[in-house]
Structures are given as C-alpha cells and as structure tokens.
Structure 1
Amino acid sequence: MLRKLTLLAMVCLIPILLTAQELKSPDGNLLMKFELSDEGIPYYNLNYKGKPVIKPSALGLELMDVASMDAGFEIKEVKEQSVDNSWKPVWGKQSIIRNNYNELSVMLVQPALKGRFIRIRFRLFDDGLGFRYEFPKQPELKYFIIKEELTEFFLAGDHKIFWIPGDYDTNEYPYTTSKISELPEKMEEATIQVAAQSPIENLAVQTPSMMKTADGLYINIHEAALENYSAMNLNVDADNYKMSAHLTPDAIGNKGYLQTDTHSPWRTIVVSDKATDILASNLIVNLNEPTSYQDVSWISPVKYIGVWWEYFVHGGSTWAYGTETNVKMDDDFSKLTPNGRHGATTENVKKYVDFAAMHGFDAVLVEGWNIGWEDWFGNWKEDVFDFVTPYPDFDVEELQKYASAKGVRIMMHHETSGSAANYERRLDRAFQFMADHNYNSVKTGYVGKIIPRGEHHDGQRMVNHYIHVARRAADYGIMINSHEAVRPTGLHRTYPNWIAQESARGTEFEAMGGLHPEHTTILPFTRLMGGPMDYTPGIFQTTYNDGEQRINTTLVKQLAYYVTMYSPLQMAADLPENYDRFPDAFQFIKDVAVDWDESHYLEAEPGDYVTIARKAKGENEWYVGGITDENARTANILFSFLPKGKKFVATIYADGKDASWNENPQSYDIRKVVVDSKSKLNQKLAAGGGVAISIVEGTKENMKGLKRL
C-alpha cells in the first residue's frame, strides 16, 4: 500500500527524505521507498521482511547532445493503484497466472529544462519489484539518444553470485559461482573462447543475475519486455557491491534511439527467502503486454526429434553437401563434389520421419537441407543462405508428402550466419516457402558476427530484428525457436509464437568439452527466468570416441530435464538408434507432456539441486523431475500436489545403485508404486544424476500387484 510520510516523521528526517514515497507489496513483505535527493536525483530502495535487498540506488539516464535525465528533478505528480487479476497463457507452466501488484507512478519534472518531464513506474508484487522509465510526448522531448542508462542496484553485502561475463554478443559462457568481491580475480578465467563474443571491457556480468545473501535471501536481477531498446548487462563495483546498468551499444557506440511516446524495458528484482519461490515467480511474464493476436489456435507446443545431434558426434555427418570452400549463393550446387557425409538427405530424413511417426513425435528438425553451408562460418559473408533452395540430395516435395502421410511435420531451419540484413530481405519469401510446403515452425540461428557490421546480437537493432521476425512469422502461421538471440524477457506472452529460444550454453556444448554437472541446476535460476529454453535434452549415449567425448550426466538426469528445464518445445536430441537400445527409459520421453496446468516447486538450491512437479494440461497426469550437481544426494519428494482422496500409479525412473555421471551413467532402475497426496519419497540421486517420475490415476487394473510407497 502507498502512503505519504506523516508530518511527525517528516520533521525528524533529513531533507533528502522530504519527498519520500513508500510502496508495499500486497502481502506486506516487500517495502520499496522512492525519494529525491537535495540535488533532485531520484533514488529507490527495497527491503524484504525488514532485510535490505537494495540500498538507496540512483535512477536516471545520460543522453547524447542534450541535458541528461539524472538530476534537477521535482515531483510533479504521484499516482497509485492496485491490480489483482488473472490471465490464461496460450501455453505455459500453468494454465492460469495471477497478476497481483501495487503500483506507484511518479512524474518527475526538470524545471530548469523548460519543464521537461519523465515518469517512473514501480510495480511491487509479492515476489519482487519491476520499474521502468516512461517518456510521454511533450514539446521538450521528441527524439533522443541514450548514452547510458544510470540505473543502480546497490546491494546490501558481498553476496554469493551465479554469473557469466558481460558480453554484447553471446550468452554461451559456463556459469561461475563466487562472491561479488571475487569477480575481478575470476573474470579472466571465466571469459573463455566462444563464437562471436564481445566481452565488456570493464567488470560486468549478464542478466539474469542470481544471488544469495549470507542471511538466506535469494535475489534475481533481470529485465522484462525488452523491445526497441538495448539489452542490459550489469557493471559491478566489487568493492562496494554496487551494480549499474550497462546497455549494449550500436556500431558507433550509442545505446538507443527513442522517440516519444515510449518507455524503457522493466528492470526486475525478484526476491524471496525461499529458492523455490524464485523458480515459481511470474513477475517477469506479468510485466509483458498481452498478445494482440486475434487467433492463436495454430500455436501449439511441440515434441520433436531431428537431424542435428549426428553433426556433433565424432565421425558423424555434416551440414555441408560439397567439399568446396569458396562457394557463392548463385553457384550451381549440383556441380559441387559431394563430401559423402551430408546429413540432410531425403533417405536419412525419411528414417527420422519413420521414427517420429512410430513413437508419436510431432515434428522432425532438419538442419543442413539448404545450400550455403560449405564456407559460411567465420567469413562474415552477407549473402550466405537464401532459405528456399535445397541441396541436390534433399527433395522438398517428396519429403513433404512422405511426412504428411505419416502425420509428422518437418521443422524448418534458418541459419542466418548472423546476417540479419540478408535474412530480412528474404524473410517473406522464406516464410511463403514454408507455408507452401506445410512447415509451421522454424529454428532460426545467428551464429557469427552480426551484419549490419558493427552491430551486436544484444543491441537495439537486433532486439527489434528478433521481434520483427516473430511478428512476421505470425502472419504466416509460423512458430519461432531462435538460437543465438538476445536472452528472453517474457515476450512469449506478447508473441506466443516465439515459442522458445536457446540463448545460453545448451546440450551441444556437451559435445565440445562437456558441461559441468551443476550447470543445469543454475540455469532455472538464471536463463530460464526470462522464458523457456530449447535445451535439447535426452542424450542416452553419454560417451563417444572411445570415452574421449563425454556427456556429464547420468541417463536418468537427461529424463529429468524434460520437467526441470521448462519449454513448450522439447527435443529428443539423441540418435534414434540410441533410444532403441533403451526402450523402457525412452518411454518417459514419449509420455512426458510439454504443456502444463500446474507447476509445483518442491525443493531447490541454485547450483546444487532442483526438484519440480508439473500437471499435464487437460490430463490427470503428473510428472516429476529432480536433478543434482556433481554431488550425490537424496531428493525428498512430497506428493501433496496430488488431489486428495485418490490413488495414483507412479513410475519411478531412478539412477542405479552404482550410477554416476563419470563412471556408470547408463545405470538405471524403473519401478512402479502406488502413491497418494500423503506419500513421501526419499530418492537417492547419483553424482550428476537425477530422478524422473510419471504419475497416472490409479485403477484396479494398473494398481494390481503394486505396493504402496
């Protein structure tokens, strides 16, 4: 609730607090205070249950060529409102989302600048704070250029932080866990070589930034509704534990070009004394606008397989058709010398279609079907792919008929090689080609340095590009899964056909040195805060190349990812023949849902473990996934999420007694038991392991001979 300070309190305070306003969360646990300093500088702070989360931190923007919006303000108007409603997402972790907050809107005027004004809007939820800058139309503010955003996050201590280096072009770093004060000494080691990177020169980390305080508060800083603005990194003052906004620049160093009436993205701070509450938060998606799409019936979650993992396995196939290394788009590709290892052939794709049809998968992704792969990477070429011309050994028409007859879709792949300019020129022709051939989903890729040259993956120009692609795709009834794009900020609410993204270090890196076992216990608290990830789980064959290439999980942990790594787009990423070797374990992947009515966060600790239960949308089925880091542990699973008074059959996929990620990853056990809402399972997870459970309503037939848990 918003209230003005009482007169008695005012006379006891120093002048800096004379204009202070307070805002409480609906449950009263969070308290945000806004104030102006004597110099007219806006400040805010945030407390949770009396504990400081953000100490007084400055707000404002530095502008190019005109006076900045950083000081000299007076409060012109204060408004308040409370909102409590619910809405239904097209797809998601739950079928109904509550949107409950108290709002404070403060209009600030700069009298010395002919009354130029801005508005800062704060929304305080039970699980955190969102705020943004708003720039109404006015005579003294029409067009302006941002030099830097001056938003601060002054932390209350030397927190534990889970972080990746600040960068303008990639999110694909492994996570480092340290104290904030240790960032300077660890930054160089953490900034490993990845594709198309542009590390920030000063000390900075990316968002979402996940922290834990010494007294047990969990704090997550990110942004919501990133449109027509540059993505935010966080400068770090490691000595004073202060963070500040660092926007991605364009080719000439500017951070944003705006025209009133407009606004910034929301800056978000999710906070709780329970790690599970961080995972359960809907604050970021609630701060995004509802979709304007009139018809969403064509948008649906997808479970798919694909011609993909075979490109990463040692000795596998290739994206490229020919052996040549100097190829142009207008060359006659039928005259190229075949390399004999091309993966996207008509014959090979038919095998994947057969497998998908046999096991009930919706679609088959095919990478490497189109001309241009021979010398695309690293050459910063503008015209690499045309997105409509197949290689000589890929028959579009035949595969369309073959897949359609079996009830399977082919999933398109558009690798842009970072050339957004080329993709935009060809976008409508590419989407029309998809529509003509019954493709309703596409995986887009942005590997490499961006064209227009000098722009960055996370700058305003590319932020607008990704949204343009999603909106244009909607005109053709196409769903988008973007890779190497800017990290998500909840825009899947506004553009529900933008069904998933990569934007982090995913499964493909298991084939390039491996991922640390703790990696996927951190991602739900970082990357997945903004939206679903196409993580591509389900790798059963965990060693390759005589053991030199290793997947750092147990087989069961790969099953658990389908619940813990939320996405409405889930891939069974391994080779079909590896699933044929483990049909009983593969059953879980076939059964598990990709859209949900409910999600229950049972236990979690960032960097250590995560256990989640979800109810399949419209079904009396529940699925549980639990994962751990490199340490073996016991998952304590309460089945209180089940309806009371009913019995259910739980199929438990567990690590074997001798299982571990590095010595015996394929050891697993499967058992069935009867459970109800009072049941409790203490399940051992192997090092780097997990547990996966499918639950169906009990009947006399399926419970026959089963023991109660």
Structure 2
Amino acid sequence: MKFYFTALAFFCLLFANAQSVASPSGKINVDFTLNIEGTPIYTVSYKNKPVITQSKLGIELKEQGALTSGFKILSTTTRMVNKSWKPVLGQTATITNHFNELLVALQQQESGIKINLVFRVFDEGVGFRYEFPKQDKLDYFVISAENTEFNLAGDHKTFWIPGDFDSQEYVYNETRLSEIDNDKLNLNNGISVKSIGGRYVVQSPLMMKSNEGLYINIFEAAVVNYPVMHLDVNTKNFNLTSRLVPNAIGDMAYLQAPCTTPWRTVMVSDDARDIVAQKMVLNLNEPSKIEDTSWIKPMKYVGVWWEMHVSKSTWDYSGTQDAAQKVTDKPRPHGATTENVKRYIDFASKHGFDGVLVEGWNVGWEDWFGHWKEDVFDFVTPYPDFDIKEISDYAKRQGVKMIMHNETSGSVANYERRLDRAMETMVQYGYPAVKTGYVGKIIPRGEFHDGQAMVNHFNYVPQRAAEYKIMVNSHESSRPTGVQRTWPNYIAAEAARGNEFNGWSSGNPPAHETILPFTRLLGGPMDYTPGIFEIKMNVYDPEKTEQVHTTLAKQLALYVTIYSPLQMAADLPENYEKYPDAFQFIKDVGIDWDDTKVLEAEPGDYITIARKEKGSPNWFLGAITDENARNTTIRLDFLEPGKKYKAIIYKDGKGADWQKDPINYAIETKTVTASSKIKLKMAPGGGAAISFMPVTNN
C-alpha cells in the first residue's frame, strides 16, 4: 500500500509538472517536466517519432553551485508569433518568423535562484535557452559548465569534425555516432593551430540521419557574450552533452543578470531539403541594430590572393615565404605591388566586378607566423612597393572598390588597440569592406578562438565597423550563428575548410561542398572563394601534386549552392581569360536573392539549388555531386509560368572526371518554360550551373 501511494504521488507530480508545446503544423512536439529530483527534463518528437529522448537541462555556477536539480515551477506562459521581416541581404526577400513558445519559470528551492527555460518550436525545429531574470539572489556570476543533454534515439549516421576550440578547418567524417573517435583521425591536414577538446568531442552543427530517414541537426543560434558550444559524445548510449570552450583560467562565461544564453537548436525533418532551407537560426537572432543599411551592398570581387596560395608570389615583401608561411629557398616576387594591383583593377573593371581584395600589402608579413608575437601589424603602413593612395585613386577612376585586408596574426589585443586607426584608413581611401584574419594562437595568450572573449571580439568588430559604414568578412573566426540579422554588415565569414586548402594541402574531398549546406552554412554566408579554373597545381610547378577536387563545371555551380553576398572569382585573371565562355557564368550569376528553392539534397552526396536574383527576373541553378557520377532530371516549375527563358547550361563534358579530366566542360543553350525539364549528367566530383534569362520579344 505504501508503494502504491508513493508511485501515485510520483505520477501526480510528473503530471502536474508536465508541459507540452508543438510547432505551428503540429509535426514537432516538445514535452517538458521536472523529475522526482526537480531536474528539468525535455523530449522532442517529430510526427510522433522520438528525436530527443528524455534529456536533462542545467547549468553549473562557479560560486553559487549547480543549477541542475531541486527546482519547482513558479509559472508557465505560452504565446504564438507569426510575422515576417526583410533581410538586408539574403537568400529570400522576406522571412517568416512563425513559432509557438513555452516559458517555464523555475526556482531552485535551496538557493532561491530563479531561472527561465524558454522553448520556441518552429516547423523546422526547436530552439531553447536559459534566461536569468533580474533577482536578489543572483547578480554577477560565472558559468563553470553547461549540462544541456541531447539524448538521441539511435546510432545515427553522422557528419562530424573534431571539437577543436581553435579551428573548424577540417574535412568532415561520415560515420555512425558510435564510431566517433578523434584519436583515429589523420590530423596532418594543413591546420596550423589545433586545440581539440578530447577524444570524443565534436563540433556543432552536427548533422545526422537516422535509420528511419529522419534528418537531425544539433546547433545553436545567437551566440553573444558566451562561448561556442561543442558536444561531448557518449558513443555507447548516443548521448550528447554541451561542452563550452573555456577561457585562459578555465572559466566558461562571465555574466550579470538579467541575461540569456544562446539558443540550443534541434532541427528535424524527413526531407533533407528542409534542413538546408531553414530560417530558424536567423529568426532566433535579434533584429538589425543598424538603422540606415543603404550602404550595405553585395559584392563580387577578384584579388591578389590565390597567386600566393599557388606560390606564384608571396605575401611578404622579401619574397622568402611560401603559402604555408615557411621560409623557402625559392624566392618569388611580392604580390601586392602597385603595378600588379592595377592589373587586377583593370580586370575587375573590364568584367564588371565590384571590388579587388589585396593581401600582403602592409608591413609585418616577414616575422609573425608561429611566433606568438603581439605587435606584428599596425594595419596602416604599406610596403614600399604598394602606393595606397595611387591605387585608391586608380580604382576610383575605374569604378572599382578596394577591399581591405587586416590579418591580425591572432593578436587580438593588438588589433583592438589599432582598430579605429585601421578603419579611419579605410574611410580615408574609400574601402567599403574589410577581410579580417585570425591565423595563429590567440593573444591574450591562453584564449581560444571559440571562447567568450573571442566571440565578443568577433561580434564587436562589425559593430564598430558599422560606425564607419564598413562591411566585415572574417576568416579563422568562430562560426556564425545568425548574427548577420542583427549586424547585417557582417557580410560573410569563412569559419570552415575553404577552397584555399586545395592549393597546398591534402585539400577538400568532392563530398565536402555537399556537406557544407547542412553544417557551416546553417549559421550564415560563407566566403568559400570558388571559381578555380586551373584545377591542378602542376600548372604552376611541375613537381606539385595538389589539385582542387572538382571539375570546372562544379566550381561554377558553387556560386549558387554556397550562399554568400560576397563572392570571389578566386582564380588568376589570366586563367579566366583562357576560358572566357565558362567565365561568363561567374560574370552573370547573382549574389543577392529574392527567392531560393532547394530542389534536391542529400548530405554527403548531392545538392541542387535554384535562386532568383534580387530585383531581376533571372534565375540561376547550381547542382553538385560527390565523388560519384550522378544523373538527375530537374523540373523547372520555379520559373514564372507563361514566360520563355533562355537557359545556358554549363556542364561536365563527356568523359569529365575530377581526377582524370577536370577542365572538360560543355555549354548548351536552349529555350525553356516552367513546364520544362532538364536532364543533368554530372561527372565524378562534378556539377552543373545554369542561368535562366527571360526571352524578350522584339
């Protein structure tokens, strides 16, 4: 009898504490409760299938103790939001923000500390976060750990990279969750600084596919004043636990109530296209804080950059360092000379490009890499052979904008001291955008790229730049989590393994670009630097064996499949002049969009995307595949009914192959309508790019 009443009391307690909230369509459901210990527990299901089984929530404070159990529910509130907003730059002209929200106000009975758990359930997935309201029991505090769990329902196929606190520039591994093991990886991969958090630590976004065909992604949104979340993996029971990146003395985050953590996100669908097309990450960020955004413009650019990666020239004035910043016995010319830059400006002007990037223009490149040196660059002093005023004046006469490059060498303290002077220089010479770089170990010493201090820096730079009306493109930064909604001048970032690795390392396998839309690109636009036409590096040096793991047609398709309003035609001008008919697609393709349709998608295998150019009737399509050849038929029902379009199809030629014959391409032109279909045959490592332009009646 005693057992009966104890069990009855237990179930009554669970029932009293249980709360549910569903997505607008009802497909996704979140259940919340407190267990018998007063620990917050949540589950996520999709069409009544378990996605996240019973998982604990909680945070540990350094001084006040663990906020993981002993809670009671003070109140619950729900609301529904359904409204739309217009991004300054984006993949669609309008974004709908539609969710149902559950807020659970909790109080830990022993400490008296209050904390809110907020769940927002979209048709794309779930976002939830911890909120610390203003209260007497908590003011300043330090996070020592976050114990957010994601208990998965099975041993899913997973696309993962190591949980490195300093770099995301890895090739993705495709294994079961149970097979994740950083100790089994070959880490001779061209990454200069590695700080892997443990044998079973992985990064988010973590893309998975269940045996039942569910596509599941674990990520985060609106990472502000908080470290990046990595994930500890229990390979035996498929449990993931949040792993925050520490600062130099081992603390995770310094906060003051009232405050919030970033959103933890769980995206789920039985259609892979929904993961790629999601807008949930953007919607979980705050609206733009820039009132006048008229100066924020998309840019297509060329630059003095790839020639250094292929060792045709150097960043340093002395010409003694190779692409890996190592001293070489084969001196080469300095790339950023006034004469050479003018050549790029002429090319940009001739072909209608908006800008020219120049790396290696400023004093300091000879003595920085690998030395953990603090004062390397001052960001204002050019080398003797780079006349910044003459180049700026020449670019203005040619109708071309210059893009600044500020490599910090990881010395963030030095960059922040000099940031205003650097931006004043950009304004003085008319530079509308800056590419920042963070190669090397961070200064202040002991900090990681993904720690709270660096997250704050990466968010601070675009905020400061906005005061000067300058756009920011960060490289080697923490990966974006939708912050471009709040600071739309944060126009792009790298934060993944980019095209540059193909020039001097083991490179990126053909599947790499089919995974990025399911991982890195969920957080924001990526400056991947596509458009390499001379695929094999032995063009520059007969002894080189490196190559881009792609066909030329696939390089064209990347302009559509990898979203960025800042797109580089990364190859050398002379290489584009060899293939002018293929180069035409890069000149034509849009970079800012009114509409986007994900037509086909399977992570690690293929993706096909069509986009409508902003303010234009033109559509562009990109289709890519992995190392396997692929045939597909594409319906063109995204085109406007009743109109005829001229379709120019840039495709792999007969016998093309990313290894054996990568530059083999063909171009076909035909007239199509919304009722037409196009058959595409992609080579191994290949792709196809198509422009659709309305046929005008004369």
Shared fold, TM over 0.5: yes
TM-fit CA distance, 1:380: 0.3
TM-fit CA distance, 1:90: 0.1
Whether 2:573 is the aligned partner of 1:543: answer no
The verdict on how the C-alpha distance between 1:264 and 1:72 changes in structure 2, with shifts beyond 3 A counting, is: same
In 2: Cα distance, 1:90 partner to 1:274 partner:
28
Q: Given residue 182 of structure 1, which amino acid in structure 2 is its aligned partner?
A: E
Partner of 2:326: none
TM-score after normalising by structure 2: 0.95
Matches within 5 A, 1:205-284: 205-284=202-281
TM-fit CA distance, 1:62: 1.1
The answer to whether the 8 Å contact 2:622/2:689 transfers is yes
The answer to whether the 8 Å contact 1:170/1:457 transfers is yes
The answer to whether the 8 Å contact 1:321/1:339 transfers is no
2:417 to 422, 425, 428: 425
Matches within 5 A, 1:630-641: 630-641=627-638
Classify the secondary structure of the residue corresponding to 1:612.
strand
1:44 to 21, 42, 45: 42
Partner of 1:439: 431
TM-fit CA distance, 1:657: 1.0
Whether 2:561 is the aligned partner of 1:569: answer no
Classify the secondary structure of the residue corresponding to 1:410.
strand
In 2: Cα distance, 1:260 partner to 1:688 partner:
51
The answer to whether the 8 Å contact 1:634/1:684 transfers is yes
Partner of 1:90: 88
Classify the secondary structure of the residue corresponding to 2:418.
helix
Q: Given residue 246 of structure 1, which amino acid in structure 2 is its aligned partner?
A: R
Whether 2:320 is the aligned partner of 1:320: answer no
Partner of 1:628: 625
Matches within 5 A, 1:54-73: 54-73=52-71
The answer to whether the 8 Å contact 1:174/1:190 transfers is no
Partner of 1:365: 357
The answer to whether the 8 Å contact 1:191/1:199 transfers is no
In 2: Cα distance, 1:216 partner to 1:544 partner:
40
The verdict on how the C-alpha distance between 1:63 and 1:191 changes in structure 2, with shifts beyond 3 A counting, is: farther
In 2: Cα distance, 1:413 partner to 1:387 partner:
8
Classify the secondary structure of the residue corresponding to 1:52.
strand
The verdict on how the C-alpha distance between 1:187 and 1:236 changes in structure 2, with shifts beyond 3 A counting, is: farther
Classify the secondary structure of the residue corresponding to 2:590.
coil
TM-fit CA distance, 1:700: 3.9
Residue by residue, what CA displacement relative to the aligned partner does 1:331-375 show, whole Å, maximum 9, x if unpaired?
Answer: xxxxxxx96610000000000000000000000000000000002
The verdict on how the C-alpha distance between 1:494 and 1:427 changes in structure 2, with shifts beyond 3 A counting, is: same
TM-fit CA distance, 1:12: 10
Matches within 5 A, 1:163-562: 163-184=160-181, 187-189=184-186, 192=189, 194-314=191-311, 316-322=312-318, 341-511=333-503, 512-545=505-538, 546=542, 548-562=545-559
Q: Given residue 537 of structure 1, which amino acid in structure 2 is its aligned partner?
A: P
In 1: Cα distance, 2:188 partner to 2:660 partner:
29
2:144 to 143, 147, 163: 147
TM-fit CA distance, 1:479: 0.3
The verdict on how the C-alpha distance between 1:52 and 1:378 changes in structure 2, with shifts beyond 3 A counting, is: same
In 2: Cα distance, 1:319 partner to 1:516 partner:
27
The answer to whether the 8 Å contact 2:525/2:564 transfers is yes
The verdict on how the C-alpha distance between 1:473 and 1:521 changes in structure 2, with shifts beyond 3 A counting, is: same
The answer to whether the 8 Å contact 1:320/1:368 transfers is yes
In 1: Cα distance, 2:184 partner to 2:55 partner:
25
Classify the secondary structure of the residue corresponding to 2:485.
coil
In 2: Cα distance, 1:683 partner to 1:386 partner:
51
The answer to whether the 8 Å contact 1:176/1:190 transfers is no
Partner of 1:332: none
TM-fit CA distance, 1:89: 0.2
Q: Given residue 153 of structure 2, which amino acid in structure 1 is its aligned partner?
A: A
Classify the secondary structure of the residue corresponding to 1:590.
helix
Whether 2:576 is the aligned partner of 1:583: answer no
Q: Given residue 628 of structure 1, which amino acid in structure 2 is its aligned partner?
A: T
Q: Given residue 67 of structure 2, which amino acid in structure 1 is its aligned partner?
A: M
Classify the secondary structure of the residue corresponding to 1:549.
coil
In 1: Cα distance, 2:370 partner to 2:182 partner:
31
Q: Given residue 510 of structure 2, which amino acid in structure 1 is its aligned partner?
A: P
The verdict on how the C-alpha distance between 1:696 and 1:79 changes in structure 2, with shifts beyond 3 A counting, is: same
Runs of 4+ in 1 over 3 A off after TM superposition: 10-18, 185-193
In 1: Cα distance, 2:338 partner to 2:529 partner:
23
Partner of 2:325: none
CA RMSD for the aligned pairs? 1.5
TM-fit CA distance, 1:513: 2.1
Number of residue-to-residue matches in the alignment: 678
TM-fit CA distance, 1:638: 1.0
In 1: Cα distance, 2:607 partner to 2:332 partner:
44
Q: Unpaired segments of 5 or more residues in structure 2?
A: 1-7, 322-329
Residue by residue, what CA displacement relative to the aligned partner does 1:203-252 show, whole Å, maximum 9, x if unpaired?
Answer: 11101100000000001111000000000000000000000100000001
The verdict on how the C-alpha distance between 1:76 and 1:191 changes in structure 2, with shifts beyond 3 A counting, is: farther
The verdict on how the C-alpha distance between 1:129 and 1:456 changes in structure 2, with shifts beyond 3 A counting, is: same
Q: Please identify, of 541-550 and 585-594, the stretch whose mean Cα deviation from structure 2 is larger.
A: 541-550
In 2: Cα distance, 1:75 partner to 1:569 partner:
47
Partner of 1:7: none
In 2: Cα distance, 1:424 partner to 1:544 partner:
37
TM-fit CA distance, 1:11: 9.0
Residue by residue, what CA displacement relative to the aligned partner does 1:80-109 show, whole Å, maximum 9, x if unpaired?
Answer: 000000000000000100000000001001
Q: Given residue 422 of structure 1, which amino acid in structure 2 is its aligned partner?
A: N
Classify the secondary structure of the residue corresponding to 1:177.
strand
The answer to whether the 8 Å contact 1:59/1:150 transfers is yes
The verdict on how the C-alpha distance between 1:693 and 1:193 changes in structure 2, with shifts beyond 3 A counting, is: closer
TM-fit CA distance, 1:319: 0.3
The answer to whether the 8 Å contact 2:533/2:576 transfers is yes
In 2: Cα distance, 1:506 partner to 1:185 partner:
21
Q: Unpaired segments of 5 or more residues in structure 1?
A: 1-9, 326-337, 702-709
